[in-house]
């Protein structure tokens, strides 16, 4: 049975005080029992939020692929595990674009995260010029073939996929519910062909392109959409609560 998931990504925003107030406000409400709530917070907030996160699971937004070493400024998977971080977001389009992360690197990071018993939120998706050429299916398939398709069935039990059409992130544009469903179905088909029926049926696939309270319910109602990876709307407790209750 696939999980319904409302995941927030705060990116390089907020501080610990904001995070503590935010999770308290969310936890003051009775959250749906069938929805897993995750928030990807800045590194410096993880240790301070995990003990007070209540019904919310805390995710890191990245980690390094090596166990340790001379990598000034980086954070290892073992460091995240030591503060009881549950999830790590990997392959986000902003990491790919601004930090030149490749599918090979993202795969190495996934291995390291799962080696330490944490789960991965793996991001994939196409830029505008690919969508305009109607080549998005091949583009995303190649991303998957060079990364998660090289995992084992057992490892896939610890992976959530987030499809994020890059052209709809922070632009105010949103893929239509039918566009989202079409790509999610395509991704699930790739999982079916690679790992078999059980993995395809049990892997949650989130939509990650400008999810808001106004469009969440319709997007989440699609057969192969299991929730959202939410950016800006996850910084506002009321908006995020509305999204959590959209299933």
Active-site annotation, residues: 92, 164
Spatial distance between the Cα atoms of 45 and 43, rounded to a whole number of angstroms:
5
Dihedrals phi, psi of 68, to nearest 5 degrees: -170, 175
């Amino acid at each position: 049975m696939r999980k319904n998931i409302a995941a927030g990504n705060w990116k390089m925003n907020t501080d610990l005080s904001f995070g503590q107030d935010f999770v308290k406000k969310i936890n003051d409400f009775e959250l749906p029992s069938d929805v897993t709530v995750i928030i990807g917070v800045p590194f410096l907030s993880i240790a301070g939020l995990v003990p007070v996160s209540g019904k919310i699971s805390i995710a890191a937004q990245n980690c390094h692929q090596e166990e340790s070493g001379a990598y000034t400024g980086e954070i290892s998977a073992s460091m995240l595990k030591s503060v009881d971080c549950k999830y790590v977001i990997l392959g986000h389009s902003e990491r790919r674009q601004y930090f030149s992360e490749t599918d090979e690197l993202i795969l190495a990071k996934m291995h390291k995260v799962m080696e330490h018993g944490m789960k991965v939120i793996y991001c994939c998706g196409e830029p505008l010029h690919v969508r305009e050429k109607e080549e998005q299916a091949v583009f995303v398939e190649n991303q998957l073939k060079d990364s998660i398709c090289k995992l084992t069935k057992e490892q896939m039990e610890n992976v959530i996929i987030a499809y994020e059409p890059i052209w709809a992130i922070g632009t105010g544009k949103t893929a239509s519910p039918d566009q989202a469903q079409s790509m999610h179905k395509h991704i699930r088909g790739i999982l079916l062909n690679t790992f078999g029926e059980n993995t395809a049926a049990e892997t949650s696939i989130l939509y990650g392109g400008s999810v808001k309270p106004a469009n969440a319910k319709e997007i989440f109602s699609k057969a192969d959409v299991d929730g959202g990876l939410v950016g800006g709307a996850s910084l506002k407790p009321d908006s995020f609560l509305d999204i959590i209750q959209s299933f």
